[in-house]
Structure 1
């Protein structure tokens, strides 16, 4: 059986559409997945987290495609689900995309209005920057004058082919 971390990465991949090997590469110098999992566990409660991970693991074992897994977690028929698991899943998506945790509901000492940047690395390495082919203000690993060259394709950053998608160039 898969570990909680592996199921968290798989669930995150299904929710964001970003391949698991991009969220958690074999050689990972930053190591966001375990940081994120440890951070969210008390904030969504272990019960809600276990429900999410069990739902993912069961559907993945049944070879359900990622889009169906995401739909099962996030939707109630044609409407967005309002369950704690669905709200937690939406916050997990935002965490990966923005590096910011938006508390989905009140629990313990955490209020539903709470939000915070998890860490500087979570913010710097958030997927919104990669998807936008940009970098946070004041931080870049690029060389001086990089803006004069055509950037790599979006597929190079995300691993998701852009061909056939309206508005996406690659």
Structure 2
């Protein structure tokens, strides 16, 4: 008879894995109050198989799995970015108005079809070509919960407080920051 792994055990495994990839200990991760929300987000967005693959990739020297990178970002900033798409260049996203230092995007009708001389054309998916995880229907980045921003590991890592939340107290700006030993 095979033993069924409970959701609580899967959540503990997720936190243990997350401690390995974030550099924070399990106690700190549980202390954010976001473990369950983050676990559910990964399960909803990527599924059980992708999470298991990510967890099994941890012993390698570098976490190259895109899901692992997304989970690290999730813990640090509280935003689900989703795995980066590989083999695809989205020129419009990099030249859209409003990006820091970017020029306004060129209207589609005025863009040359074959690009500039010496410039590689953007990679386009061919009809019928199947790329795992590569879809125009990806969920855009989103904040996982109202508390996710203030509980992000980023703030502890840089020895700061999130703007507009968890104020350090009146006059604390007069003292230099103290960095925790992580």
Alignment TM class, shorter chain as reference: 0.5 to 0.7
Q: CA-atom RMSD, angstroms?
A: 2.6
In structure 1, how many angstroms separate the alpha carbons of the residues matched to 2:26 and 2:59? 14
Q: What secondary structure, in the 3-state scheme, does the structure 1 residue paired with 2:161 have?
A: coil
Uncovered stretches (5+) of structure 2, i.e. residues with no partner: 86-132
In structure 2, how many angstroms separate the alpha carbons of the residues matched to 1:13 and 1:45? 20
In structure 2, how many angstroms separate the alpha carbons of the residues matched to 1:95 and 1:141? 22
Q: Say whether residues 1:45 and 2:47 are aligned partners.
A: yes
Determine which structure has more spread, i.e. the larger CA radius of gyration: 2
Tell me: higher relative CO, structure 1 or 2? Use CA pairs within 8 A at least 6 residues apart.
2
TM-score by length of 2: 0.61
Taking the TM superposition and a 5 Å limit, the aligned residue runs for 1:41-80 are 41-53=43-55, 55=56, 69=59, 71=61, 74=63
Decide whether aligned partners of structure 1 residues 110 and 46 sit closer, same or farther in structure 2, where only a CA change above 3 A counts: farther
Which has the larger share of helix?
Answer: 1
Q: What secondary structure, in the 3-state scheme, does the structure 1 residue paired with 2:147 have?
A: helix
The CA deviation string for residues 101-146 of structure 1, in whole angstroms up to 9 with x for no partner, is 101154899506x211112211111011111111222122422111
Name which of 129, 132, 138 aligns with 2:158: 132
Uncovered stretches (5+) of structure 1, i.e. residues with no partner: 57-67, 75-80, 161-170
Q: How many aligned residue pairs are there? A: 128
- Counterpart of 1:111? 138
